[in-house]
Copies of this chain bind each other. A is one copy, B any other.
């Protein structure tokens, strides 16, 4: 199975979401070598163009890439899977790739250049979610995918 890396912008501030992350990160460790990387957000002053913030944050994100990382950027506009499809896709990737990196942007999302650079863009929902909620949602789906791949019961 591939090494899994999740790169996020900023630390998670809401206590209940941080607790949820810990819950799923612990479960995921059983299935894969997982690293969680938090990149510093760019301080926004009034008048800082949003594109500039996204571009600076992208600069910090790419530093965390490994040359062999298969890059999956999360964005509302990306490809939507159902859970079985997502699990099947991950399993297929595991045959050809040894490193997978998921990238979740900050409050302003990811830069267009980063979305282009990614091997694929994955959408959890058409709805806009906070960048902190997306983390919990992704972790739950990764856990669900591993239970599907391993033909295990999903533990609630």
Contact = CB atoms under 8 A, between A and B. Distances in A.
Interface residues of A, number: 30
Contact of A127 (B17, B129, B141): B141
A102 to B, nearest CB: 14
A135 interface: no
Nearest to A107: B156
A151 B1 CA distance: 47
A13 B128 contact: no
B128 A82 contact: yes
Contacts of A129: 137, 140
Given A14-B23, A16-B23, A156-B13, A127 B86 contact: yes
6 contacts: A107-B156, A124-B125, A128-B144, A129-B140, A132-B156, A137-B137
Given A16-B16, A124-B125, A133-B136, 15 more contacts: A13-B156, A14-B23, A16-B17, A16-B19, A16-B20, A76-B82, A80-B127, A81-B126, A82-B128, A83-B127, A86-B127, A107-B156, A124-B127, A132-B156, A137-B137
The 10 closest A-B pairs by CB, nearest first: A16-B19, A125-B125, A83-B128, A16-B20, A16-B16, A82-B126, A80-B126, A83-B127, A127-B141, A124-B125
